[in-house]
Amino acid sequence: MTRKTKVAKFPLSVKLGAIRDYYSDGSSITAVARKWNIVRTTLSNWLKSCPVDAKELSLPMEVIDQYRMKHAELTNEEILQKRISDLEQALAYEKMRSRAFEKMIEIAEKEEGISILKKRWCQTVEALRSEYPDVTVETLCGLFGKKRQWYYKNRGKVISERQRRKLICANVDYYRWLCPRIGCVKLYIILRAELGEEITHGRDAFLRLLAEEGYILPKLKRRYTTDSDHPYHKYPNLIQSVDAKYVNHIWVADITYIWIVGDVLYLHLVTDVYSHAIIGWCLSETLEAENTVKALEMAIQTAGGDNLCGTIHHSDRGSQYACYAYVDLLRKHHIQISMTERYNPTDNAVAERQNGILKTEKLYLEDMFLNYEHAKLGIEKAIAFHNYQRPHMSIGMKIPMNVYRYEEPGKNLWKKTNGCSCPDEK
C-alpha cells in the first residue's frame, strides 16, 4: 500500500524571505534553500511564480508587504471587471431573448388577428403578483407600459378561458335558434360587436373554437324552379355588367316555394341590390300575379314611391312579371323593366341568393310549417332577421336595412375575378 506524501506548507513570510535573499545576496538556489530549510525544487517554483522583480525584492520587507497588498487589490479589481463583463454578456443575451419573444408575439398577433399584449397583460400581472409577492403592482404594470390604475380597473373584467368559451357557445346557440343556418363568419361579426374582441378574439381563433365545439354546418343542396312560357312581351336585360350605385337603383324580384304539411306556398320577394334588403314580399297559396303585385306594392311603399324614375326592376321572364298588371304598376312609377334573356340562375343571382339565404339558413332548418298562418309568422321572423341583424359579405359585413336607410356599404367580400358576383356566403 502506497503512503501519501504530506506536502509542506510555508507561510508567506518564509516564501518572500527566501526569494528576497536569492535576489539580494546573489546566492545560489541551493544555498538559499539550505538556509531556509526548504527543498531546492520548491524554491525554484516560488521564483518562477514570483509576481515581483529583483529590484522590488531588494527593498526592505515593509516595502514588499505594501507591494503584496497592492497586488492583491489589483487582482480583486480584475475579478470584479470579469464579473461585470459576464453580467453584461448575460444582460445582452436576456435582452435578445426578450426581443425574440416580443417578435414571436407580434407575428402571432398579425397572423391570428388578435392583440395578445393588449388583452392579456392584466392576467399576466395577476399571475406575477403571486410569483413575486415582494414586487409592487406599479412595478409589474410598468413591465407592460401600463399604470397601476389601469390594472385595478381591468382586473374585474378578466374571465377564464372556460368561461369565455361557455359565453360564446351560449350566444351561438341563441343565434342558431333564431337562424339555424347562419354561417360562422357572420356569427363572428355579430358577437364581436356584442361581446367585444377580448371575448371573441380573432376570426381564425373564433372559427377554431366553433369547429372544436361542433358548430360548423354541412352544405345543403339547392333547388331551382321557374316557368317562362307565356305570350307576354319579354323585356331585354338592362343590368348586364351594371352594378348598383345607390339605394333603389336596381331591384330584383323572384318567387320561391315554401313547403307546408300537405301543400306548398309561394313567397314573392323584391330585393334592393345596393343594400341587399328585402323591401317587398308576399306569401300566397297560388302563383296568381295579384300576389306578385302585392310584393311590388310593398317595395314601392318602402321606397317612398314618389321618385323612382331611376330605378330598374329586374326579374326572370315568368308570366307574373310580364303580365299587364305588373308592368303597368312599374310604368306608373317610371320604373325601368329588365328581364333575363335566358333561364340561367346567375342572370338573376342576387334574387336567387336571397332565396337561398332564407331557405338554407332559416326555413329548411325549421320543422315543416303546419299551415299558411304558421308559415307566414316564420317568414316574417326570417325576413326581419335578414334585414335587421344578419351581416352580408356582399356589402362588407354590414346590416342590409342599415345600408338601405343611411350607411354606405362596405367592400364586396364575395366579388371574384371570373365575373360571378354572388357565390355562396358562409
* Residue pLDDT, tens place only, 199-218: 777 888 888 888 888 887 76
Using DSSP, state whether 7 is helix, strand or coil: coil
| Residue of 190, 225, 230, 228 lying closest to 210 (CA atoms) | 190
Using DSSP, state whether 12 is helix, strand or coil: helix
Examine the domain organization and report whether 206 and 270 are in the same domain. Answer: no
> pTM for the whole thing?
0.49
Within a domain: 118? no
Among 20, 40, 59, the domain boundary falls at: 59
Within a domain: 113? no
Within a domain: 169? yes
Examine the domain organization and report whether 168 and 297 are in the same domain. Answer: no
Instruction: Write out the DSSP string of 42-61.
Output: HHHHHHHT-SS-HHHHTS-H
Single-letter amino acid code for the residue at 111: E
Examine the domain organization and report whether 319 and 270 are in the same domain. Answer: yes
Within a domain: 138? no
Decide: 284 and 320 in contact? Cβ < 8 Å: no
- Per-residue pLDDT, 223: 46
Residue 259 maps to which CATH number?
A: 3.30.420.10
Spell out the alpha helix ranges (H) of 113-247.
116-131, 137-142, 148-154, 161-178, 184-195, 197-200, 203-212
Examine the domain organization and report whether 271 and 400 are in the same domain. Answer: yes
Instruction: Quickly count: other Cβ atoms within 10 Å of residue 378's Cβ.
Output: 17
> What total of structural domains would you count in the chain?
3
pLDDT > 70 fraction of the chain, expressed in percent and rounded: 72
Q: Report the mean per-residue pLDDT for the chain.
A: 77
Within a domain: 357? yes
Examine the domain organization and report whether 299 and 202 are in the same domain. Answer: no
Within a domain: 410? no
- How far is Cα 157 from Cα 118, in angstroms, rounded to an integer? 13
Examine the domain organization and report whether 267 and 200 are in the same domain. Answer: no
Examine the domain organization and report whether 324 and 273 are in the same domain. Answer: yes
Within a domain: 261? yes
Examine the domain organization and report whether 177 and 275 are in the same domain. Answer: no
* Helices and strands (DSSP H and E) totals, the chain: 18, 5
Decide: 270 and 295 in contact? Cβ < 8 Å: yes
Examine the domain organization and report whether 286 and 199 are in the same domain. Answer: no
Examine the domain organization and report whether 205 and 334 are in the same domain. Answer: no
Domain span at 179: 159-212
Instruction: Quickly count: other Cβ atoms within 10 Å of residue 277's Cβ.
Output: 26
- Per-residue pLDDT, 412: 67
- How far is Cα 204 from Cα 105, in angstroms, rounded to an integer? 16
Examine the domain organization and report whether 301 and 191 are in the same domain. Answer: no
- Per-residue pLDDT, 419: 37
| Residue of 210, 205, 197 lying closest to 111 (CA atoms) | 205
- Segments of the chain with pLDDT less than 70: 1-8, 25-26, 50-78, 112-119, 153-160, 198, 218-230, 342-349, 351-352, 355-368, 410-426
Within a domain: 147? no
Examine the domain organization and report whether 328 and 200 are in the same domain. Answer: no
- Per-residue pLDDT, 327: 92
